[in-house]
Structure 1
């Protein structure tokens, strides 16, 4: 325990000790004579599988084994034989001579994360990861554990080979770590399976890279197969243990259903879904044809609906939480006389996100609506301008691209906001200054916002 200058335990450490003492209630029970054995061989052993499913959401199947009651009863003596003895006579030579990876579940009902503080003094090199899950992670998240173990073993072997070749430690890092070790979100997203749509460019590509740098496994989805492949390849280079590219049109319901089934069968359940794919369209309401409306709503709204419905359902059925990010826009709450279709699609995404967040909150699945403002991406160069001829459309595309270029807000900052929003489980995130200002106007001065809408394009 840390000590103050006076030699007294600090209040923080005392609180941590008391907290762990409360979590360790089962250890006290296991020290009672005969009672643990009787409980395990009797009602507790029979009901334990159901208790795990209800409280810890451990999936049903071949666990626990039929021999659990006798196994647990025979193992109860281990606590009585070891815990008190080790507390009374701690071993000064309990030192690991090999690199160690420590994986701690943040929602553990029995063991506090603080219990493992300062373990680095007992190992030559310690890599620590935190998993947002309960106590039985080998059963509930075997995919994540397998990915982290593979990454750790690979890095240890790579370090060992460098040492044998006399190269020393890379970049002065003490211990075998992956490229994701420098990311502030490595402990949160390392090994997670993250799917990003519209990942071929702009915000989607930057988001895929940000998760890759945090050590996540990345699925880059885009209509353009080559762009998706480039994103996946770069993701592997900058830290993703694995990355895949898929060419999918998010507006195609059947294609999305087949894709979701393929991901589930081959890779498991997605931990973070980023519905980012979108297209731009500008023009007055009466110049916007039904076909224009269908095209915008199919991608910007139905693409999000397909992603939430298919991958969100998988998260809910798994019962281990997750997070969905939907890219909306400042246009979702900032009306404009020249963006009726685009603003409507994004406003629908914002409300869908809020409704879904309420529905999934009880299942530990967060939902975030990201609302960028003027971000320097290629959406302006590919946006459609209705009600004008081809030459005028090209001129407006160039002008919009120039305006966004002058603002020059990088997609990388939006990606950073997305990772932060997932980590903090934020609901609505206006990203740029103009997006935050418009959001404040929408909440507190809606009449002023309506006056602005008459002037020209929204953000």
Structure 2
């Protein structure tokens, strides 16, 4: 275990999709607060880069390759983490992908991929580590990364929004289920954040040339928005410290959350606009 000082000193944190973006910044933030971090990503090289950045501060971290959509691989990963590092005190199910396009253009393979990563990966991480947290008997915390799309319907984002809405509800139910065991669950809804998720987003029904042109335009808007992933990481750590249930991060995520709660009819009208 790390001997560093901080609010999370001596704690073990597992973060999926930690090779870049929100996952990487969250790993760095926990490490700065004294945690030992298990960094996993489908791209092992990027996970190793995150570990190298953590090592520069003198903290302890470990890199693993993990495809969260592969439950058998996730199970093997969890068993290895438990055997080599122990039961995580905090699990951040961050790995996810973007996806857009009209639902009638979406293939079955694309449905399997989006739901496998965005939803199945969250369920697997919560289940495989959560049961050991409960059995250990000293509590813990699970953080699931959803999206403002979970409660802000928008045309051409049906599959992505569905996956994130499912994560949102799963997390609420899980929070209730694990309350008696002292295991907290937080749902994080970032909003418009400048990460590489837009650049890698697939769009059903478009050629690769048209996809690149469209995501390029959207990516420029995200960059101009100027909300960086380290700010999301700050809110994630805050959510764990305060045991917050739902955390809409950016201003638009906060406004969208209130709008859907108090004026859902307006959200449904806005959903008809072609914003993506």
User: Shorter-chain TM-score: which interval?
Assistant: over 0.9
Compare CA radii of gyration and give the structure with the larger one.
Answer: 1
Q: What is the CA distance between 1:260 and its match in structure 2? A: 0.6
d(CA) in 1 for partners of 2:239 and 2:73? 29
Shift of 1:233: 1.4
The residue aligned with 1:217 is: 36
Counterpart residue number, 1:456: 274
Pairing 1:363–2:181 present: yes
Tell me, yes or no, if structure 1 residue 204 matches structure 2 residue 23.
yes
Residue of structure 2 aligned with 1:395, choices 210, 213, 218: 213
Secondary structure class of the residue paired with 2:167: helix
Q: What is residue 195 of structure 1 aligned with on the other side? A: 14
Q: How far apart in 2 are the matches of 1:418 and 1:288?
A: 32
Give 1:236 deviation, angstroms.
2.0
Shift of 1:321: 0.3
Residue in 1 aligned with 2:99?
Answer: 281
Measure, in 2, the Cα distance between the counterparts of 1:419 and 1:450.
32
How far apart, CA to CA, are the structure 1 residues paired with 2:263 and 2:100?
A: 25
How much does 1:291 deviate? 1.5
CA deviations 1:116-136 (Å, max 9, x no partner) are xxxxxxxxxxxxxxxxxxxxx
5+ residue gaps in structure 1?
Answer: 1-146, 152-177
RMSD: 1.0
CA distance in 1, matches of 2:275, 2:90: 33
- Superposed displacement of residue 239, structure 1: 4.6
User: In structure 2, what is the equivalent of residue 228 of structure 1?
Assistant: 47
- Partner-residue secondary structure (3-state), 1:399: helix
Q: 2:263 aligns with which of 442, 445, 450?
A: 445
Q: CA deviation at 1:457?
A: 3.6
**8 A contact 1:249–1:256 mirrored in 2:** yes
Higher relative contact order (CA 8 A, sep 6+): 2
Give, in whole Å, the separation in 2 of the partners of 1:236 and 1:219: 12
Whether contact under 8 Å (1:209, 1:238) holds in the other structure is no
Match of 1:416 in 2: 234
Give the match's secondary structure for 1:379: coil
Question: Partner residue of 2:253?
Answer: 435
- The equivalent of 1:160 in structure 2 is none
Equivalent residue, structure 1, for 2:190: 372
Mapped pair 1:333 → 2:137 = no
Q: How many residues align?
A: 276
| Residues 400-453 of structure 1: CA deviation (Å, up to 9, x unaligned) | 111111101010000000000000000000000000000000100101111110
The answer on whether the counterparts of 1:374 and 1:407 sit within 8 Å (CA) in structure 2 is: yes
**1:230-282 CA-partner distances (Å, limit 9, x unpaired):** 10111122252x11000110111111111111111111100000000000100
Q: Which runs of 4+ in 1 moved over 6 A?
A: none
The correspondence for 2:137, drawn from 314, 319, 330, is 319
**Partner residue, 1:108:** none
- 1:308 aligns to what? 126
The answer for the alignment partner of 1:76 in structure 2 is none
1:258 aligns with 2:73: no
TM-score, normalised on structure 1? Answer: 0.59
Report the Cα distance in structure 1 between the residues aligned to 2:254 and 2:221, rounded to whole angstroms: 19
Q: TM-score, normalised by structure 2?
A: 0.98
Corresponding residue SS for 1:366: strand
Corresponding position of 1:49: none
SS of alignment partner, residue 381 of structure 1: coil
Aligned partners of 1:410 and 1:208: how far apart in 2? Answer: 15
